[in-house]
Structure formats: C-alpha cells, structure tokens
Structure 1
Amino acid sequence: MSAAAAAVGVAATPRAALAANSAYVFVYFTETPNQSGANYGLHVAVSTDGLNWAPLNQNNPVVTPTAGTLGLRDPFILRKQDGTFVILATDLNGTDFGQNNQYLHVWDSTDLTSFTGYRRIKMHNLATHTWAPTAFWDASRGQYGIVYSANNGSDVFMVNYTSDFRTVSANQVYFNPGFSVLDGDIVVDGSTFYLYYKNLANGLTYGARSSTGAPGSYTTYTAGLKQGNAMEAPMLVKANSGSGWWLWGDSFSPVNNDYYAWSTSNVGGGAWTVLNQRDYTPPLNAKHGSIAGITTAEYNAAVTRWGLPGWVRLKSSNFPDRYVRHANNVARIDPYPFDPYQDQLWKLVPGLADSAGVSFQSVNYPTRYLRHYNYELRLDANDNTAAFRADATFYRTAGLADSTWSSFRSYNFPDRYLRHANYVLRIDPLSASSSATDRQDATFKVTS
C-alpha cells in the first residue's frame, strides 16, 4: 500500500492477494421497444467467457433505489482496492432526460450476494444532470476518480475524487475535447488510462488515453466506431486471460439491436474488429451497463444466491440477431428486441412423448407447447393426446452446421429437423450431407 493510500484509509486487502478473476459480472437496467420490459432497478448477469450472459434472479432487479427518483440508469461496477465492489448509478427513473439531478446512487457489495450501504452522494451544485458514472483507482493520488457526464455550458465529463465513495472532492472538468461528449468508460491498464466515449456531434465512439489519468490529459487515438444506426455507452473490458480486449456499445434506442461488440489483441493500437453476433449474447433486455471480472468463488456465490434463468432462448445460427419466438401462435425467428419479449422465452422440458427428448413449453402461455402440424411449427395447447405429445417432442443433437450449437430432430419424423424457412419454423428432411444453408437453418444456440 502506498503512503498516499494509507493516508486516506484505503484498502485493507491488496488486490494482488485475491484470487484471479475467472468469470465476469454485468450490471444493467432493462428496456424493451414498448417499455413493457422497462425496469430501473439494478440487474445482474454473469458469464464464464465474457461474451455470453446469464441473467440472475430471473432478470428481475436485485436491489432498487429507495431515495431520489427511486430508479436508476447506467449502473457501473468497480472492484475496489480492498477486493470488494462499489456500484454507482445515475439517479433517473425512466426516460425524462430533461430533469436536473446532482446525485448518484451508491451501493457496496462484498461478493455480489448482497448490495448494502445504500446512499446517494452529491457530485456538484450545477443546474444539470449527473449521468453515466465510471470510476477508477488513481494510484498517484491514492484515491478513486468518479467521472460522469454533465453540462457545464457544453456536454463534458466531470470528475470528483474520493477515498470512500461517501464524501467527494469538489467537481472539476475532466475531459472537454471541444465538442459535446457523453458516456465515458475508463480502464487503467498498467500505466495507461483508457477513456472511451461517445462524440455527440457525430454519434461515433472514440478511444482516448493518458499516461497520468489527470484531468485534461487525454488524447484521442482511435478512429470513430459505430455499428447499426446509433450507439452509446461504450464498455471497455480486458479479458481475464490478460491478453485481448472487448469493446461493447449499447444501441441508442431499445427499438434497435441491444448491444454490439468488437475485439482487439492490442488496445493501445486503436484498431478494433467487429464481432459476429454469433459470438456473443448480451443479457435479456439489458441497457447501458458495466462489466467487471470476478473470481470463481464470487461467480458461484452469486449464482447460488440469485439463481440462473428458468428459461432459455434459441438464437439462429445464420441470422444471429434473430431468436425463435411465437407470434399469433406461429413459430418463427425475429430480430431481437421485440415485444412481447416473453414470446422468445421457453422452458426446455423433458419430451412429452419421450423423456430422453425435449419439448418447448411457452413461458408466457405455459399450457402451450411448440408442435409441428403439416410440418409447420405452431404454439398449441397440450391436449395430452399421443399425437400431440409426439408432435411436440424433439431430440437435441449436435448442431448440423456447428457441433457446439444444437439441432432438434423430430420424434415422430426422425429424418426431419426443426429449421427456419423464410423466417418461419418447420420440420424438413435434413442430414449432414444437406446444403450448408439448410444445415445452418437447422442450427440454434440454446442460450439465456
């Protein structure tokens, strides 16, 4: 521990003494296109690979603010120097972005099984907002910097310093490149501070860096990045392996795709490669979140405390932005997100005709199952006849196009597999010798 750190009472357990991170945690809030899935409490998901996520607590909030606006946006999670976590969040319940608010929500967590010590901290006295906090350890100061978006005549990043996330220094401008910015995320890697942000003038995401992390010390070093129609809320994540990075970007609106991602082996090089959506699955309905590395013990404790989802989703192999859903009782694949979002949630239960197989029970219509009829898939109520049970039973096999994914063979037509055609689901004769397109149409990822 440095003398500066000791002077401000930081860190009882040095980070180096803790177990190595082997998994990841993602904190977020939720929204859907018609806002039926909007929830402005703290949501938590976990992942073992940093790319595919399982929402905890059935994607319900694990804690909700009890002061201020009684809601949050833009939660951020930081591993502190003592090994525990702090969560910061915008004090905003909903989408009324015109209101002024000088406060942030704050919680503490030892191991992600509880979120305690709830409080709000006042960051400034300006007639403006306090949005999208990020935080980092500044070893030279022996304090943490809390950076957030505010308007000080223009949209800039402000910073306050703290040793305990209870009292903070006076605010000062942290990053003002001469154009309006929003949604900064800061990661310290060795002696380099990386700041990724949205340029409001052109809607692109950029990376800046500094050798000190001091206010006004950053220089932008990347070209502008964007996928889809609009983006915000960049999340910069270093892989637990120590080599490789991911950059996530949240869609600007819940009516667009929810998250996009890039990868790089050299964050300092500034070149990013777009990730195929086959390679990642963000948490259901997640918006503007934050990712941190966690240990195996923390992963297991969080899963035990909050529970993994009781449902699955099926992602298409060759249209990875689309998921199997029912619509007017017809089974099809549609781009996510959509409402009702529950139409894509299934309970994978033992096969109704053979427990060695599987059947797909609808979550929002639990008396109904996917079954084929004239070779087309539809959602029907279980009448408990032998014909229905047979039509609703499938054998899960290695994916015909990708053995790490899954295909589903019909119980009563064993030469036929579940596949999409013109986005509608049916069963057709397929085998390993079928065309590449046919095999991809019949391959799905079972995910959360």
Structure 2
Amino acid sequence: MGLTRRQFTLSTLATTAFTMTGLGLSQGPALAATNTAYLMTYFTESPNQSAANYGLHLAVSRDGLNWSPLNQNNPVVTPTAGQLGLRDPYIYRKQDGTFVVVATDLKGLNFGLTSQYLHVWDSVDLSSFTGYRRIQMHTYGSSVHTWAPTVFWDASRGQYGIVYSANTTTDLFLVNYTSDFRTVGPPQTYFSPGFPILDADIRVSGGVTYMYYKNLANGNIYGARSNTGAPNSFTTYTSGLRQGTAIEGSHLVPRNDGGGWWLWGDSFGPINNDMYMWTTNNVGANSWSVLNQRDYTPPINSKHGSVVGITEAEYNAAVNRWGLPNWVRLKSSNLPDYYVRHSNNAVRIDPYPFDPHQDQLWRMVPGLADSAAVSFESVNRPGYFIRHSGYVAQLGVNDGSATFRADATFYRTAGLADSAWTSLRSYNFPDRYLRHAGQVLRIDPLSSSSSANDRQDATFRLTS
C-alpha cells in the first residue's frame, strides 16, 4: 500500500478488516495486510553467563526458520521497575493491528525471587516500544511466581486472556482477562490437570483454542485443546514431545503461507542453550515431526522466544530502526549444531553454545587479495583473519604481505553438498576448499566428484 503503520489513524485501524493469510486465527478488525516475515522476541544467556542480558531482544526472519538478530543482538528496551530484568517475553498482535509485549518480571537465574507483576510495552510498527508499565496479576503471597505469560483473544468475552505459570496449590496456569493491558480482572485457575505444569502457549485457530505446555512430572511438552477456550475446558490430545536432555518454553507458530505450523521448544538453562523445532501440516492432529537443526538457526544465545507474523512494512520499520547484524556465522552442513570459531588461534568447528560466544562471529569483508572474493575478520580480535598455512586454517594477524592476503582470501561458490548453502574456494589454491576434518578447518582438493562426506565437510551456511 506504500504507507507505513504510522500513517494510519487509530480510527482507521479499528475499522479496517484484517486478514492474516494462512493463519486461520481469530484476529478481529485491524490493518488489511499480508504477513511476509516473522519477528521473534527473546532474552539471552550463555554457558558462563557472559552473554546474559535480560532486556527485550528482537530478531527477524523471512522464512520463520533462519533468524537475524536486530540491534547487534543488544536489547531494544530494558525494564526500569520491579526486578529490572525480564524473561520469557511474549509478543502479540492486538485487535487493532498494533502489538503488545508482556514478560516475566525476573532478572537472572534466581528463581526464588518472585513477583506479582508482568512487564508490558506497546508498539505500533516495531520501530519503538513505548508505554512501559507493570501490571499486577494477583495478590498471592511472596512465594507465588508469575512466569512465562501468553496472550490470546477470547472472542466470546470480547477480551484478551493473559495466561501464566503460577504455583498456588501446585504448579498450574492462571488467567486474567483484560481489554487494555493496563487493568486486569481477578486471577482464575485456567488449567490444572492433576500434575505440575509450566510454560503455556495458546493460539486460536478455526474456532479451536490450542494450548501447549510442559508436564513437569515427566519433562515432556504436550498439546491440549478446547472448543471454547474457557478456563478448565482443555483436553490433552498429543503424545509427549522432547528433544535434547531437557525442554520447556513451548511456542506454537502458524506459518504465514498457510502450509502448516511450527512448534518451538527451549532447552532448559544457559548451559543447554539450544532451541528445537517440530513441524506439522495439521495442528489438530497428533502428528509432529522433528525438524533437523540444519533447517533452522535461532538467534544467537536466544532463550524462551515468541514469534509473530509481520507485514513487509513492519519488517522494514524494524530493520531500518534497529539494523541487521554486521557479522556472520558459518554453520556446518553435516554437523548443524557446530559453528566455525577460533580458539587459541586455531580455526575449528565446535558445538554451540560456547563462550566466549564472540569467537564464532566474523566480519565478512571484500577479499584481501581480490575484492570479488571474501575474507573473514574476527569480531573480537580485529585485524585477525581466517587464513591457511600449510593447508591448515588458523587465525592470523594481517601483516600486509601478499602471501597473507592470498591465504586469507576465498571465493564464495554454491555449496558442494547443497547449492543453497556455500562453499569457500581458496584464492591461491583454486582446487582446494575450506572444510572441517576432525573439527579442525583446512583446505583440501575437492570437486563435485568428491565423496559425499567430503563435500558435506566443505559446505556451510553463512548466517547470523
């Protein structure tokens, strides 16, 4: 339409029919537009907590699978009240087409600290987050937490439900209803199935309310559903789901193209800093399939994310305001949880996460020996580049010599194992490609007739 969200008055927003292509969600009146991308909110942690940050982080994705952090993976806003930090931020598109973010009032890993409040922000087009406030969800004692909120529109009530994890008589879900995310009704028990539960996520589709949650008794994620979305009306309909050693933070995402649904799960704790995914063509069936980690790349160090479909105008507003990363990561094709990093001047692949996490960040610059090629400069050791010496890759300081420039220059080619990915051919040994062998990177002679394993070893995704 050529207009940004700012150019519409609130009265226009309130009266314009809104269609979210492929979602089948009950969204109500809002701006008529098609979602072409996705936005994720999250906080960050890493194994030794050097990357821990409990402000609101954003990332964008065109395909819903591979993500680019905004603002160089720094927070766009940070709470200024309560415990001065957030966890579990949840972004939701309201009936008027604008956004609200609700988040747990908790900073760090001291889960013994509890709060009766949630953090809240508003956003019109994702270029700013304003109206910061906290809303009190209950008046239970200081031992009762208010964790991991999710939001849904209850059409029968004409109100939003805010569902969150609490521990009153047991670990269960409470709900408060609101019209404005400023005042809320009294808490009600929303779901208490007879065993302890955590981390609800709720979507309404085709007149059915779907809720995914963690069963604390066995550590698995399950899906439940209700024809009304009313408190205490849900029936569990899926088998237990789990990837990794421990999982929580389930998040249900309808695809913009209408081709199905994704389910995200978050590994527990900063040491296990992975996000996992499943996919299905039918959210109402017990038919989730595990997605290979090769097929998706969460934002670096991200924890307990939430995802919303966004329009082209909203994508551009967010990117123009906050900026895309000025670095890349190199993800292994055949070991997709491994990334290229430097360690003691060696260049190798290691499983993510690790600290310092900056060891895997590279500035991809015009090739030192040929500007049509590329070179990779370390972000946390400026002036040091990936180069080969004796065919083995290492991190070396640019001494300005012709030999160094040649050793540090690579041509990007279609991936030898997957043309949608990338292989890196040596500038001065044009029959050799950068590949991993025993986790160490080196350059070896390779071609399309090389073994499948060798071609996989030389194939990477350049991602952020």
Does TM, scored on the shorter chain, surpass 0.5? yes
- The SS at the match of 2:359 is helix
**Residue 377, structure 1, aligned to residue 377, structure 2:** no
**Residue 18, structure 1, aligned to residue 32, structure 2:** yes
What is the rounded CA distance, in whole Å, between the counterparts of 1:305 and 1:207 in structure 2?
A: 37
Among 70, 87, 102, the alignment partner of 1:56 is: 70
CA offset at residue 271 of structure 1? 1.2
- The SS at the match of 1:248 is strand
User: What is the match of residue 104 of structure 2?
Assistant: 90
What is the rounded CA distance, in whole Å, between the counterparts of 1:304 and 1:258 in structure 2?
A: 28
**Residue 106, structure 1, aligned to residue 106, structure 2:** no
CA offset at residue 255 of structure 1? 1.5
User: What is the match of residue 273 of structure 1?
Assistant: 289
Among 405, 421, 436, the alignment partner of 2:452 is: 436
Report the AA paired with residue 378 of structure 1: Q
What is the rounded CA distance, in whole Å, between the counterparts of 2:64 and 2:200 in structure 1?
A: 20
* TM-score normalised per structure 1: 0.97
Among 235, 239, 254, the alignment partner of 2:255 is: 239
- The SS at the match of 2:305 is strand
CA offset at residue 109 of structure 1? 0.2
Among 159, 169, 177, the alignment partner of 1:161 is: 177
Q: How do 1:411-422 and structure 2 match up within 5 A?
A: 411-422=427-438
What is the rounded CA distance, in whole Å, between the counterparts of 2:264 and 2:181 in structure 1?
A: 26
User: What is the match of residue 32 of structure 1?
Assistant: 46
Q: In 1, are the aligned partners of 2:341 and 2:359 still within 8 Å (CA)?
A: yes
CA offset at residue 257 of structure 1? 4.4
Q: How do 1:31-430 and structure 2 match up within 5 A?
A: 31-127=45-141, 128-430=144-446
Q: In 2, are the aligned partners of 1:209 and 1:220 still within 8 Å (CA)?
A: yes
Report the AA paired with residue 375 of structure 1: Y
Deviates more, 1:421-430 or 1:239-248: 239-248
Report the AA paired with residue 122 of structure 1: Q
Deviations along 1:2-50, one digit per CA (max 9) or x if unpaired, are: xxxxxxxx95554344201111000000000000000000000000100
CA offset at residue 237 of structure 1? 0.3
CA separation of 1:202 and 1:11: change in aligned 2, threshold 3 A: farther
CA separation of 1:13 and 1:170: change in aligned 2, threshold 3 A: farther
Gaps of at least 5 residues in structure 1 are: 1-9
Q: In 2, are the aligned partners of 1:14 and 1:83 still within 8 Å (CA)?
A: no
What is the rounded CA distance, in whole Å, between the counterparts of 2:227 and 2:259 in structure 1?
A: 20
Deviations along 1:391-441, one digit per CA (max 9) or x if unpaired, are: 000001000000000000001111100000001000000001000000000
Gaps of at least 5 residues in structure 2 are: 1-12, 20-30
Two-structure CA RMSD over aligned residues (Å): 0.9
What is the rounded CA distance, in whole Å, between the counterparts of 2:388 and 2:307 in structure 1?
A: 41
Deviations along 1:310-350, one digit per CA (max 9) or x if unpaired, are: 00000000000000000111000000010000000000000
- The SS at the match of 2:145 is coil
CA offset at residue 256 of structure 1? 1.9
What is the rounded CA distance, in whole Å, between the counterparts of 2:446 and 2:269 in structure 1?
A: 39
Deviations along 1:79-122, one digit per CA (max 9) or x if unpaired, are: 00000000000000111101121000000000000000000000
How many corresponding residue pairs? 439
Identity of aligned residues (%): 72
- The SS at the match of 2:35 is coil
CA separation of 1:11 and 1:139: change in aligned 2, threshold 3 A: farther
CA separation of 1:445 and 1:202: change in aligned 2, threshold 3 A: same
- The SS at the match of 1:194 is strand
CA offset at residue 288 of structure 1? 0.5
Deviations along 1:152-210, one digit per CA (max 9) or x if unpaired, are: 11000000000000000000100000000000000110200000000000100000000
- The SS at the match of 2:82 is coil
User: What is the match of residue 7 of structure 1?
Assistant: none
Q: In 1, are the aligned partners of 2:98 and 2:123 still within 8 Å (CA)?
A: yes
- The SS at the match of 1:387 is helix
What is the rounded CA distance, in whole Å, between the counterparts of 2:361 and 2:14 in structure 1?
A: 43
Q: In 1, are the aligned partners of 2:46 and 2:273 still within 8 Å (CA)?
A: no
What is the rounded CA distance, in whole Å, between the counterparts of 1:153 and 1:136 in structure 2?
A: 24
What is the rounded CA distance, in whole Å, between the counterparts of 1:11 and 1:201 in structure 2?
A: 44
What is the rounded CA distance, in whole Å, between the counterparts of 2:230 and 2:272 in structure 1?
A: 36
* TM-score normalised per structure 2: 0.94
What is the rounded CA distance, in whole Å, between the counterparts of 1:281 and 1:352 in structure 2?
A: 29
Q: In 2, are the aligned partners of 1:316 and 1:323 still within 8 Å (CA)?
A: yes
What is the rounded CA distance, in whole Å, between the counterparts of 2:221 and 2:246 in structure 1?
A: 10
Q: In 2, are the aligned partners of 1:14 and 1:82 still within 8 Å (CA)?
A: no
